[in-house]
Amino acid sequence: MDTDTASRPTLADVAARAGVSPSTASLAFSGTGPVSGATREKVLAAAKELHYAGPDPRARSLRRGRSGIVGVVIDERVSEAFRDPVNIAMLDGVAEAIGEIDAAMLLLTGTTGSDTPVSLETAPLDAVVLFGCSPTLERSVALLTQRGIPAVVIEGDAGDDVPEIALDNREATRLGAEHLRELGHERVAIVALPLEPSRARGPLTAARVDASTVETAIERARGAWDVFPDARGVVTAASYVEEGVIAGRELLGDGGGGDRPTAIIAQSDLLAAGVIRAAEELGLTVPGDVSVVGFDGVAVDGLDYDLTTLSQPSQAKGRAAGDAVVRMLAGERPESVRFTSTFHRGGTTAPPRA
C-alpha cells in the first residue's frame, strides 16, 4: 500500500510523505538544529508509516567521514587469541572505552590473507587497536598511516607517532626473579612465550631472543636474565596450559640429571599452570621441589594453587588503548602509557630444598 517503491524507503521518501524537505527531515532525525515540535512529529509519523528504520549508516558514514567502528587486530585466529584471559580482559577494556562514543569493535585477524590483511585495507575503520602482533605490526601500521587511520598499539613498538600501551615487562620479571634469588634459588629456568610468528618450540637462546620481534617475550626474558644470566629455558608455541605442560616436562623431566632447575619463571600464568601440572605429573611438589612464578595475575580456572605471579592490569590496558583511540578521534594526540605490574607472593614459591 501507499507509495512503496519495492526497496527500502529513504529519508527523502519520508520527507516527501511528511511534506517537508529532506534537509528538514534530516534535522528532525538527528536532533541537530532548530526544528519545531510539530514538524518533528510529522516526520517521525511519516517514518513510522513507511517503516523507515532510520538513516542508512553507509550514507551517513560517507557524509560524516566516520563509521563508528574501531578495528581490533589480533594476529591469531579467534579461538587461539581468546584462550588467554589476558587478551579477553584487554578486549573488554577496549570495548568499555570505545562504547562511550558508541563505537563498536571490528575483530580483525591479522593473518587473514597471505600478505596483508584484507580487511585492514578495506574496512570502514575510524581507528585501530593493534594487539602487539609483531609479524604484521610494521606492515599494518604503514598501511594505516597511509590510509590516515589513527592506531594504538598494545605491547609492541610501532615507532614514531603511534601511541603505545606498554607494560614494565622486564622490570616486573626481574622482580619475580629477585624474589627467587632471595629465597636462595640458583638453578632457574625460563618458560617463554612464542618468539616468532612461526611459533616454533625450542630452546631459549640469547641469539633467538635478539632475532625476535615479540617485545613482550623478549623483555620478560631479559628481566629474568638480569638476575640469572645463565638461566636456560624453552620457548613455547602459545600461551596455553598444555604448552606449559610440555615445557615443564622438558625442563623437569629426567633428561638433565642433577641440573634440574629448582625454580621456573613462566612468562604467563597459563604456562605456569602447565608447568605446575607437569611437575605434579613427575611426582614433584610445588613449591617443595620446584618453585613456579607466573605472569599476568589472571585467575587460571581450575588451578588449585595461589600462584606467585606478577599481576598486570589487563583490563586497564585495554581501557587505556580504547581511551587513546577516543582521544585521537577527538583530535588529540594521546601520550603513550606504561603500566606497571605488581608482585603477588602466592604459595608456589619457597626456598629450594637443601
Partner DNA sequence: TATCTTAGTCGAATCGATTCGATCGAATCG
Partner DNA sequence: CGATTCGATCGAATCGATTCGACTAAGATA
Q: Footprint of DNA on this chain (CB under 7 A)? A: 7-8, 10-12, 19-24, 26-27, 29-30, 32-36, 38-39, 55-56, 58-60, 62-65
How many of the other CB atoms lie within 10 Å of CB of 268?
A: 30
What is the C-alpha separation between 192 and 236, in angstroms, rounded? Answer: 6
CB neighbour class for 214 (10 Å; exposed up to 12, middle 13-18, buried from 19): buried
Q: In the bound complex, what is the minimum distance in angstroms from residue 53's beta carbon to its own copies? A: 4
Contact between 124 and 149 under an 8 Å Cβ cutoff? The reply is no
Q: Which does 35 bind (CB under 5 to 8 A by kind): its own copies, DNA, none?
A: DNA
Q: In the bound complex, what is the minimum distance in angstroms from residue 16's beta carbon to DNA? A: 10
Q: In the bound complex, what is the minimum distance in angstroms from residue 14's beta carbon to DNA? A: 7
Contact between 278 and 304 under an 8 Å Cβ cutoff? The reply is no
The dihedral over CA atoms of 315, 298, 196, 154, expressed in degrees to the nearest 10, equals 10
Q: Which does 262 bind (CB under 5 to 8 A by kind): its own copies, DNA, none?
A: none
Q: Which does 241 bind (CB under 5 to 8 A by kind): DNA, its own copies, none?
A: its own copies
What is the C-alpha separation between 299 and 112, in angstroms, rounded? Answer: 31
Give the burial string for 130-146 (b: 16+ CB within 10 Å, else e): bbbbbebbeebbebbee
CB of 58 or CB of 333, closer to its own copies = 58
CB of 62 or CB of 211, closer to DNA = 62
Q: In the bound complex, what is the minimum distance in angstroms from residue 53's beta carbon to DNA? A: 8
Contacts of 187 (CB under 8 A, 6+ apart): 259, 260, 261, 262, 263, 352
Q: Which does 284 bind (CB under 5 to 8 A by kind): DNA, its own copies, none?
A: none
Q: Which does 68 bind (CB under 5 to 8 A by kind): its own copies, DNA, none?
A: its own copies
Amino acid at 322: G
CB of 51 or CB of 353, closer to its own copies = 51
CB of 26 or CB of 348, closer to DNA = 26
CB of 42 or CB of 249, closer to DNA = 42
CA distances from 354 to 17, 149, 211, 289, 290 (A): 89, 59, 38, 10, 12
| Cα–chain center distance at 170 | 19
What is the C-alpha separation between 182 and 163, in angstroms, rounded? Answer: 37
CB of 26 or CB of 309, closer to DNA = 26
Strand arrangement of the beta sheet that strand 263-266 belongs to: 202-203, 232-235, 188-192, 263-266, 291-293
Q: Which does 338 bind (CB under 5 to 8 A by kind): its own copies, DNA, none?
A: none
Q: Which does 10 bind (CB under 5 to 8 A by kind): DNA, its own copies, none?
A: DNA
Q: In the bound complex, what is the minimum distance in angstroms from residue 269's beta carbon to its own copies? A: 11
State the residues that interact with its own copies by CB under 8 A. Answer: 8, 51, 53-54, 56-62, 65, 67-69, 77-79, 82-83, 85, 88-89, 91-92, 95-96, 99, 102, 104-109, 112, 118-119, 121-125, 143, 146-148, 240-241, 270, 273, 277, 300-304, 315
Strand partners, 293: 265, 308
Q: In the bound complex, what is the minimum distance in angstroms from residue 98's beta carbon to its own copies? A: 11
